[in-house]
Amino acid sequence: MASIEDIRTRVTLQEHGIINTHTTDFPGNYEGFDDTWSQEKFEEKFRIDIIHMDKLQMEFDMVGVDAAIANALRRILLAEVLAHRLGLIPIFADPREFDFRSEVTTELMKWVPIGNQARKYDLQDIRPVECNILIAKLRPGQEIDLKMDAVKGIGKDHAKFSPVEITIIKPCEDKLADKLVECFSDGVIKVTEDENGVRKAVVANPRRDTCSREVFRHEDLKDRVKMSRIRDHFIFSVESTGALHPDVLVCEAIKVLIGKCRHFLSELDSHCIDT
Amino acid sequence: METSGKINDNFQDLTKPIKTVEDKWKLLPAFLKVKGLVKQHIDSFNYFINVDIKKIMRANEKITTDADPVWYLKYLNIYVGSPDVEESFNITKPISPHECRLRDMTYSAPITVDIEYTRGKQRVVRHNLPIGRMPIMLRSSNCVLTGKSPAELAALNECPIDPGGYFVANGTEKVILIQEQLSKNRIIVEADKKGTIGCSVTSSTAERKSRTNIVTKGNKFCLKHNALSEDVPVVVVFKAMGIECEQEIVQLVGCEDDVISTFAPSLEECHKLHIYSQLQALQYLGSKVRQRATWGKSRTKVEEARELLAGVMLAHVPVIKYDFKPKCVFLALMVRRVILACSDEANVDDRDYYGNKRLELAGQLLSLLFEDLFKRFNNELKKIADQTIPKPRAAQFDIVKHMRQDQITNGLVHAISSGNWIIKRFNMHRAGVTQVLSRLSFISALGMMTRVNSQFEKTRKVSGPRSLQPSQWGMLCPSDTPEGEACGLVKNLALMTHITTDQDEEPIVRLAYNLGVENLRLLSGEEISHPSVYVVFLNGNILGVSGNYKRLVEAFRLMRRAGYVNEFVSICPNHQHRFVNIASDGGRVCRPYIIVKNGKPKVQDRHIQELVQGFRSFEDFLHEGLVEYLDVNEENDCSVALYEKEITRETTHLEIEPFTLLGVCAGLIPYPHHNQSPRNTYQCAMGKQAMGSIGYNQRNRIDTLLYFLCYPQVPLVRTKTIDLIQFDKLPAGQNATVAVMSYSGYDIEDALILNKASLDRGFGRCLVYRKQNCLLKRYANQTFDRVMGPSRDASTGEVIWRHRALDADGICAPGERIENKQVLVNKSMPIVSPTGLQPGTPGQPPQPEYKDVPVSYKGPRDIYVERVLVTSNADEAFLIKILERQTRRPEIGDKFSSRHGQKGVCGLIVNQEDMPFSDLGICPDIIMNPHGFPSRMTVGKLIELMAGKAGVLHGHFGYGTAFGGDKVEDVCNALVEKGFNYVGKEFVTSGITGEPLTAYIYFGPVYYQKLKHMVLDKMHARAKGPRAVLTRQPTEGRSRDGGLRLGEMERDCLIAYGSSMLLLERLMISSDAFEVDVPLLLIISQYFNPEDTLRLQTSFPRTYVHEHCSTTVTQALHG
């Protein structure tokens, strides 16, 4: 049997299923553990490590929060952060026109400002995110003359407003035995030699594991390995479609989340008065 | 890396050079592709218009008249031209099939003849006289599309992938379905319901069809024929045919003891009838001949009997100058077969055996019809000559002036467009021979071209004709048949099946005699029935006997392989009955096999390499004797190895590729050999309902109903058949990422959960095009239909709402959005008034009165006008076609299906953030309930998912070809290589809670088809609405906004439940309750005159007139 510590903090991957998937850290659930939520404890445990960030992609770890909170952030990123899209082409902003060519790409889209937009933005500022997205192929004699209106929206209305392409939550760690390297993705397991010359496999980089569970196919290794994930460790990988930097997106998402919480609290308050 | 290399080999393109020995026959199907998938139809039609039509002409070449012995008309030649259309008088221009489709015309070519006839004293020769028009099969030898490059086809608005093989009659595409029949002119021995053995032959010649039976009556044998009023003893028939000596009869039938003893009572019967000579026999037969209305000279009974024996009975056996020998031998053989079958069950024939079947194709059916029409045409000419020649007249009688084209033209077009095949001389009347080519998807059109319709009645409850016959192997698809009443009767050809056309018998006869077949006429009875010889048949006719059948068969095959005999002539011995059957008739199914000699296949790597390099064609393989066609009968005499490794010393042939035993529709299924067999059958039916692309010319078509998928995709897991039929160019479906798991409760009973974001991005989105037709006619009284511009509101001057979509010309503008009940064409037609035209103002011609008959749109959702076509049809009437477009995204209740007979409707559409996601952040497009698997056993779908996933990860297509394809183990290893789970299951997190799911989820891409059944077309509800005039009950059916019937069973429920008021309301008030006003007079009169009451009640059935009503009766309730 797994120890209570394991049950509390780990999601265990077995050969045919996953156990301890549910959050259990509510007060009084386990003898000897005080799981009441407190600001200090949270502040002490909570951290965000940014692993990687560029214009389009960002990967960060969020440690010390409940799955529900992390999921809320993911859902907001997917559905509720504002973004501009034209058709399914992610763009920077407003209406534009086409010329004709054998291959119509987004490069040919030109922004026509309306109202005071011309004063606010440069012509170059507002454009499709990528200039080489193929829209249509034309045969001789065909042409496209088209005006488009860019509309602001969120992913909830229509998927093309979703600013994020992939969002992932992935807490991971592995416990191991010998000669496992093959069973895992490159770099997950490292073989070390101790002073006695005994070869020993050590988890080097659990982040790189793809969870193929290949070990469980080997009878000899099966029982010597334990795969589990840390319950409150989430790896987010945010890929922006280009309009905004991913970090801005995350900040936006957090703002939305804060806004929602505020709204909820105020609702609670107002209803308290009623009763 | 090693595994990926292995897989890459499997994915190798068909056109890449061959490395392994194994690959060597894989190119042959690709070569059949060059011949086209509907070759059978086109071949048959080509044979008809190039060869058969000339034979028909020659058989009916001369017309004479009784009125003038000098007058004659002789056909010298007949031609079918190339399709054209008459623009104005005597000016024609070539026409393309697409123009015919759009303008509702018939794609046909003129039939012209060269004739020689007498005009007065002169002999006149005329060339190229048109006698009618022949509908032309697309891609046949006379079609304008034949031999055109894709670019030229595109210029003609034609799809290069479209197989052709159908007709365009009055603008609709019609297919003449392949008809399956029992073969003609062959002896079939079978037991009837009571178990008595009989034998029958259906003789068929150009002039006549007749059926001759030998039946057992007690212990005697009788001849049964339609032309005879009663069964006659066979011995009498033998005597009537000139074999008076009983010894000779017995020798013909057979000299084995048991045969003689069985036959003896029949001889005795003849004696009892006191018939000893030919004359007596003929007199006896003459008294039994069924009287018919005879024209011309009357004949004696004896002559009639002799004519019957010579021309009607066993009509296919030629009787020259009353030499009945061949016919006697044939009849004796029939008797012998019955006798043998009586003693041994094994001698009874199986009529479901596919070697006994012949497939009738467009060419044969058209030739029957054409000959009938041609004969009628000639009769008409003769009748005209008979009538006109005796009359005195100024001008010389010129028959050419009386040749009318429309009879043949209309006869052919009418038969093709209605499907009613009426052939007078055979008393044949068949309905449903043609069908409208289904253009739902490319596959449904192709599937239709390979469909085989059985002549068997659907109502008979016999399983035999419906069950899968082992002899159908490789010829007919074992999976593709409909469910329900036509199950097993409608079949589909397999991929490599070819159907033969008629071959000339003359050279075969000569060859057979040269190979040692002894002519029948030189032999006595005993020599023919002797156990040491084999009787040689050619197309059901006895040629003679052969003492060394093995040598005959071998030599014959050798000649065939060497190309001295046509490749479709088959020869095979039948050891049971000691026959050698040579067949050269049309309608036999056959398929090519690689010849194996001395345990080695004749096709070698070298040949295949040459094939790949283009030095060699499939014809070369045939001509060099590497490959040959075998029909069902000949297959029985061969030992065919399925794989090269199975070749033994006895093997004579090698299968080209096992997957070709499936047809076009079943060929789409990946890993069909892992599925439960009915699932493949279901998919065959559903593949025809899947939406997709129908052809490269789909945007130019204006069909009554067209469905397109917006973004069709090539399946990730393909099969070789898909490559061969070019399904990848015109696909019907999309690759959806499927998670096999339960989600919410909306996925029970095969319902699917769809991802909303996927739908936003275009999954399952489709276009529905509908056509509205509007024909502007001219009438006999010089009036005509007209189209008026939009009406305006009198006060505001604005166009009224109903006409808002109209242009100034009164026809809707392309791109316009149309709402329910808005007008598309503002047409009005003149009112037919008894007074004729209304008198207008003096000085002006009278103006007819007009009535509005607008073409309007009716439907629940708005549509857009895609395009408008204004043209004229063949009768020069204005034709306006409007194409309406509707874009539909999937909604709850729309039907989807994978390629494994797993259909389901959409049960719920879920936002992406609520969908579960894998470690890579992938959300499924479809969630499928795992309960769909255990009972269905569609393992092929599970493998498709794995192979598709491996294909995606490695960037290539998976192959799931039947009896081959990527191995599961390789696919699994390919997954592991990319860091995925070996069995395809993934760690999935719930999108709702953010916590992992407790089970690993089977996750990957599966090809999904969107089926044509959509909720929008089916949704229907009604509160009040129209009622039928006659019964005053609510109308029936969705199209008439009908009510939903509370039927008998529902009624029973309500009775059982006891809700009497509800019953009363449903059955009485909400149905045909009706109020009548009845004049007071009538009510008063009922007091005095009971008859009036009766009349009142009969004229308003179920109406009660209440006494207490004072002025009117408004109560009208039932019973």
B560 backbone dihedrals φ, ψ, rounded to 5°:
-65, -45
- Per-residue 3-state assignment (H helix, E strand, C coil) for B962-989: CCCCCCHHHHHHHHHHCCCCCCCEECEE
8 A C-beta contact, residue B263 and residue B335:
yes
- What is the dihedral sign for C-alpha B1082, B1087, B1091, B1097? positive
Mean pLDDT of chain B: 84
Interface test with B, best of A11, A135, A161, A212 (most B CBs within 10 A): A212
Instruction: Check if the interface score ipTM surpasses 0.85.
Output: no
- Look at B980 and A185 and tell me if their CB atoms are within 8 Å: no
8 A C-beta contact, residue B830 and residue B783:
yes
The pLDDT-based confidence of B1116 (bands split at 50, 70, 90) is very low
Q: Which residues of B125-160 are buried (b: 16+ CB within 10 A; e: fewer)?
A: ebeeeebbbbbbbbbbbbbbbeebeeeebbeebbbb
8 A C-beta contact, residue B634 and residue B581:
no
The pLDDT-based confidence of A79 (bands split at 50, 70, 90) is confident
Instruction: Write down the residue that tokens 């039947």 correspond to.
Output: B962
Choose among B758, B762, B979: nearest Cβ to A212: B979
- What is the dihedral sign for C-alpha B226, B227, B228, B234? negative
For residue B947, the model assigns a pLDDT of 94
A16 touches chain B (CB under 8 A): yes
Residue B280 pLDDT > 50: yes
Residue B683 pLDDT > 90: yes
- Work out the average pLDDT over B985-996: 87
Q: DSSP of B10-27, one letter per residue? A: HT--TTSPP-SGGGGGTH
Neighbours of B986 (CB within 10 A): 25
Kindly report, residue by residue over B430-486, the tens digit of the pLDDT.
888 999 999 988 999 999 999 998 876 666 667 778 889 899 898 999 999 999 888
- What is the rounded distance in angstroms from the CA atom of residue A169 to the CA atom of residue A163? 17
B951 backbone dihedrals φ, ψ, rounded to 5°:
-65, -45
Choose among A79, A168, A229: nearest Cβ to B911: A79
The residues facing B212 across adjacent strands are: B201, B225
The pLDDT-based confidence of B1108 (bands split at 50, 70, 90) is very low
- What is the rounded distance in angstroms from the CA atom of residue B427 to the CA atom of residue A187? 84
Q: DSSP of A219-239, one letter per residue? A: HHHHTT-EEEEETTEEEEEEE
Interface test with A, best of B737, B763, B919, B949 (most A CBs within 10 A): B919
- What is the dihedral sign for C-alpha B402, B403, B408, B409? negative
- What is the rounded distance in angstroms from the CA atom of residue B853 to the CA atom of residue B827? 5
- Look at A210 and B976 and tell me if their CB atoms are within 8 Å: no
For residue B16, the model assigns a pLDDT of 45
Residue B190 pLDDT > 90: no
Contacts of A72 in chain B (CB under 8 A): 994
3-state SS, residue B3? helix
Kindly report, residue by residue over A99-130, the tens digit of the pLDDT.
444 555 556 666 666 666 666 666 666 666 66
Neighbours of A52 (CB within 10 A): 9
- Look at B760 and A159 and tell me if their CB atoms are within 8 Å: yes
- Look at B995 and A23 and tell me if their CB atoms are within 8 Å: yes
- What is the rounded distance in angstroms from the CA atom of residue B765 to the CA atom of residue B707? 11
Six token digits for residue B790: 């939009």
Indicate the range of A22-36, B79-93, B915-929 predicted with least confidence.
Answer: A22-36
The pLDDT-based confidence of A198 (bands split at 50, 70, 90) is low
Residue B413 pLDDT > 90: yes
Instruction: Write down the residue that tokens 């006719």 correspond to.
Output: B541
Catalytic residue selected from B637, B750, B809, B970: B750
- Look at A17 and B760 and tell me if their CB atoms are within 8 Å: no
Listed in sequence order, the DSSP H helices in B1047-1119 are 1048-1057, 1060-1064, 1080-1088, 1090-1099
Nearest alpha-carbon partner for B899 in B710, B715, B663: B715
- Work out the average pLDDT over A214-242: 76
Neighbours of B180 (CB within 10 A): 22
Q: Which residues of B touch A (CB under 8 A)?
A: 756-762, 911-913, 917, 919-921, 975-976, 979-982, 986-987, 989, 991-1000
Contacts of A210 in chain B (CB under 8 A): 919, 979-980
Q: Are strands A189-193 and B122-135 parallel, antiparallel or unpaired?
A: unpaired
Contacts of B982 in chain A (CB under 8 A): 212-214, 217
Kindly report, residue by residue over B813-827, the tens digit of the pLDDT.
988 899 998 999 999
The alpha carbon of residue A85 and the mean position of all alpha carbons in its chain are separated, in whole angstroms, by 20
Neighbours of A138 (CB within 10 A): 14
Q: Which residues of A206-234 are buried (b: 16+ CB within 10 A; e: fewer)?
A: beebbbbbbbbbeeebeeebbbbbebbbb
- Work out the average pLDDT over B549-567: 88
The pLDDT-based confidence of B176 (bands split at 50, 70, 90) is very high
For residue A109, the model assigns a pLDDT of 61
Helices (H) and strands (E) in chain B, counts: 31, 52
- Work out the average pLDDT over B1058-1065: 91
For residue B18, the model assigns a pLDDT of 38
Interface test with B, best of A11, A12, A16, A18 (most B CBs within 10 A): A18
For residue B1111, the model assigns a pLDDT of 39
Choose among A11, A67, A159: nearest Cβ to B757: A159
- What is the rounded distance in angstroms from the CA atom of residue B788 to the CA atom of residue B1107? 56
Kindly report, residue by residue over B519-528, the tens digit of the pLDDT.
888 887 777 8
The pLDDT-based confidence of B3 (bands split at 50, 70, 90) is very low
Six token digits for residue A226: 């334990």
- What is the dihedral sign for C-alpha B1061, B1064, B1066, B1070? negative
The pLDDT-based confidence of B387 (bands split at 50, 70, 90) is confident
Query: Which residue type occupies B836?
Result: G
- Work out the average pLDDT over B601-616: 80
Nearest alpha-carbon partner for A214 in A69, A11, A15: A15
The pLDDT-based confidence of B904 (bands split at 50, 70, 90) is very high
- The count of residues in chain A is 275
Q: What percent of chain B has pLDDT over 90?
A: 29
- What is the rounded distance in angstroms from the CA atom of residue B518 to the CA atom of residue B533? 10
Q: Between residues B678 and B1032, which one has the greater pLDDT?
A: B678
Contacts of B762 in chain A (CB under 8 A): 88
- Look at B912 and A155 and tell me if their CB atoms are within 8 Å: yes
Q: How many Å is the Cα radius of gyration of chain B? A: 36
8 A C-beta contact, residue A143 and residue A100:
yes
Listed in sequence order, the DSSP H helices in chain A are 4-9, 39-45, 67-79, 117-120, 219-222, 246-274
- Work out the average pLDDT over A33-57: 83
3-state SS, residue B1047? coil
Residue B136 pLDDT > 90: yes
The pLDDT-based confidence of B1089 (bands split at 50, 70, 90) is low
Distance from CA of B950 to the nearest CA of A (A): 14
The residues facing B632 across adjacent strands are: none
- What is the rounded distance in angstroms from the CA atom of residue B770 to the CA atom of residue B701? 11
Interface test with A, best of B700, B1000, B1001 (most A CBs within 10 A): B1000
Q: Name the pTM for this structure.
A: 0.85
Residue B631: active-site member: no
Choose among A21, A71, A217: nearest Cβ to B982: A217
- What is the dihedral sign for C-alpha B270, B275, B278, B281? negative
Neighbours of A88 (CB within 10 A): 13
- Look at A158 and B760 and tell me if their CB atoms are within 8 Å: yes
- Look at A67 and B994 and tell me if their CB atoms are within 8 Å: yes
B-proximal residues of A, 28-67, CB under 8 Å: 67
Listed in sequence order, the DSSP H helices in B114-231 are 150-155
Distance from CA of B754 to the nearest CA of A (A): 13
